[in-house]
Chains A and B, each alone.
Chain A
Amino acid sequence: MSADRSEISWLRHHRIDLALHRLSEGSEPGARPLLLLHGLGERTPEQVPAGVDWHGPVFGLDFTGHGRSTVPVGGGYTSEILVGDVDAALEHLGQVTILGRGLGAYVALLVAAARPAQVVGAVLTDGPGLVGGGVHPGSPSVPYPAPDSLPVPDPFALLELALNVRPPDYAQTYVRFVVERSGLERPIIVAAVVRPEWLDAVASEPGVGEDDVATALGYFSRHAETA
């Protein structure tokens, strides 16, 4: 796939300006786009990553506090608020397939559940922030970044989202939302090697497939008309 430099569309999520990068037109520019969601502390790559083969356009969204998107003042991150980021992208793009890395994989699951008519398949793969903060809160603490932290990615995002709790039954509930309302036989495909408890629970649910990224994307690209 070509290594296009991205064009940016600016989207608004409440007080945040979000950068949506167009990485490639693909061989079928009118086809359903693939939306890349990066991992914790990452940003949208400058080009379509190796191993990602998609016939339609490929976009990537910089989450709040990451890449070119607004860095908020004073933290306050949750995975759930990032669902609102992706929802702004869905409002702009319409129907998409999502490939989420790490934190982006977890958010992809929540978004697929929230917008089943618009998310035609989600592939969950390894990346920073995949594990999260465990299945229940740990000893209480108030995280502060080091004073000399770089401003981007937002050090509060790195701290708070790394501690974000992910109970397995909570994640499973979202899988059930997706399966119940999706037209696909396998609307979620787990491609991650690392399996934190939430992802193990997701993978064990009916309607969730397990495959490598290339096969998973091939499956969703073939099922365009069934969704």
Chain B
Amino acid sequence: MTDTELHLSDDELAATRFPGARRPDRRRTVDAAGAAISVVEWGDPDAPPLAIAHGGFDFAETLDVFAPMLADEGWRVVSWDQRGHGDSAWTHLYSWDADLRDAAAVIASLPPEPLPFIGHSKGGSLMMHLANMAPHRVSALVNLDGLPSGGTMTDVSDHERVRRLRDEMDAWLAHRRRLIDKQRRPGTLDELAERRGRMNPRLDLDWLRYLVTVGAARDEEGWRWKLDPTMRMGGFGPWRPEWSMSRLPGIGAPVMGVLGLELEVMGWGTRPEHVLPFLPAGARLEGLEGVGHFVHIEQPRVVADLVLEFLS
């Protein structure tokens, strides 16, 4: 039995409503080399499109407040669930290259004229990479707290760095061995909201409860996030944050970066001084005091106005 057939309690029904939140106007699927990528859109289908990429462990409908603010000002807002997230397919493998290919497939499903790329967190890095790779497709780039910087890495001894990598590798292998037939743990709506709140401690509880209703599915055992259980914070590999930042100076389209200056667990802790040396000529950088990593969720009106003004 699925959530469409299960009766929601009054409390659960109440959670499906959040001030300003509007579910997407349209949904479709893009085939990205065999992976079914769920695409959502807000706004007039004939309006000029812009594309927004969500962050890691998020999903497109985390934009349910922010995206309508852009759509209501005349944009066709297009976003998608990255593979393994939201309503997109759970795949065998996950990697940066695969996420890029999926994103490129979504962009390829839009009209050929250059369009604004917007991305939050990992999605910001993804869009920066795409803008560098396909400058003919991007008319402007907005990065929402998605600028990993080597300058933010804690100064630790070589011995300590090696120990952390080894611990991470051990934990990753233990996780892989436990994965077969693994399902996400079911819970009540409030339990899932509380779990999510540990990663997003600055976000409003009612918002987290709303997210459960759009980002989780309910079965007879309770609610489960749709996120593939394979997904896990951390992991090991050769990637370095400065590789991401090195994509920034080469962007030819107008660039705006928005940093949330309150440190929190999901953010990079990037400060304006880490970004300024890498900004291309004419680029703009906004630091938001008292705002955490999820700038567009904590302050959707402020960030939407910044974006709308920048794109105008």
Contact = CB atoms under 8 A, between A and B. Distances in A.
Interface of A: 12-16, 64, 70, 72-78, 80-81, 83-84, 87-88, 91, 113-115, 136-137, 139-144, 156, 160, 163, 165-167, 170, 173, 176-177
A112 B22 CA distance: 51
B33 interface: yes
B202 interface: no
Nearest to A141: B133
A143 B83 CA distance: 17
Contact of B129 (A84, A140, A167): A140
A70 to B, nearest CB: 7
Interface string B225-251: 000001000011110100100010000
A76 B238 contact: no
B94 A76 contact: yes
Contact of B97 (A64, A87, A143): A143
Contact of A80 (B83, B100, B170, B236): B236
B180 interface: yes
Given A113-B169, A140-B129, A177-B162, A74 B177 contact: no
Contacts of A113: 166, 169
Interface residues of B, number: 39
A129 B243 CA distance: 23
A76 B162 contact: no
B238 A74 contact: no
B203 to A, nearest CB: 30
20 contacts: A12-B180, A70-B92, A72-B92, A73-B89, A73-B91, A74-B93, A75-B93, A76-B92, A76-B94, A76-B97, A77-B97, A78-B95, A91-B177, A113-B169, A139-B133, A140-B247, A142-B133, A163-B97, A165-B238, A166-B238
B182 to A, nearest CB: 9
Contact of B33 (A13, A80, A144): A144
A142 B104 contact: yes
A14 B176 contact: yes
A76 B176 contact: no
Contacts of B133: 139-142
B132 interface: yes
Given A14-B180, A87-B177, A140-B129, A160 B92 contact: no
Contacts of B95: 75-78, 81, 160
B91 A87 contact: no
B173 interface: yes
A154 to B, nearest CB: 10
**Residue of A72, A76, A80, A170 with most chain B CB atoms under a 10 A cut-off:** A76
Contacts of B129: 140
A13 B89 CA distance: 18
B237 A64 contact: no
A13 B94 CA distance: 14
Contacts of A12: 180
B101 interface: yes
Nearest to A163: B97
Contacts of A14: 92, 176, 179-180, 230
Contacts of B101: 74-75, 142-144
Contacts of B275: none
A109 to B, nearest CB: 12
B21 interface: no
A139 B132 CA distance: 8
Among A16, A75, A80, the one with the most B-chain Cβ atoms within 10 Å of its Cβ is A75
B102 to A, nearest CB: 8
Given A76-B95, A80-B236, A167-B238, 6 more contacts: A14-B230, A87-B176, A140-B132, A142-B101, A143-B97, A173-B165
A142 B93 CA distance: 16
A84 B176 contact: yes
Contacts of B169: 113-114
B173 A80 contact: no
A196 B305 CA distance: 50
A167 B247 CA distance: 18
B32 interface: yes
B266 interface: no
Given A64-B93, A87-B173, A74 B33 contact: yes
Contacts of B165: 173
Nearest to A155: B33
A173 B159 CA distance: 10
A65 to B, nearest CB: 9
A75 B97 contact: yes
B176 A15 contact: no
Interface string B170-191: 1001001101100000000000
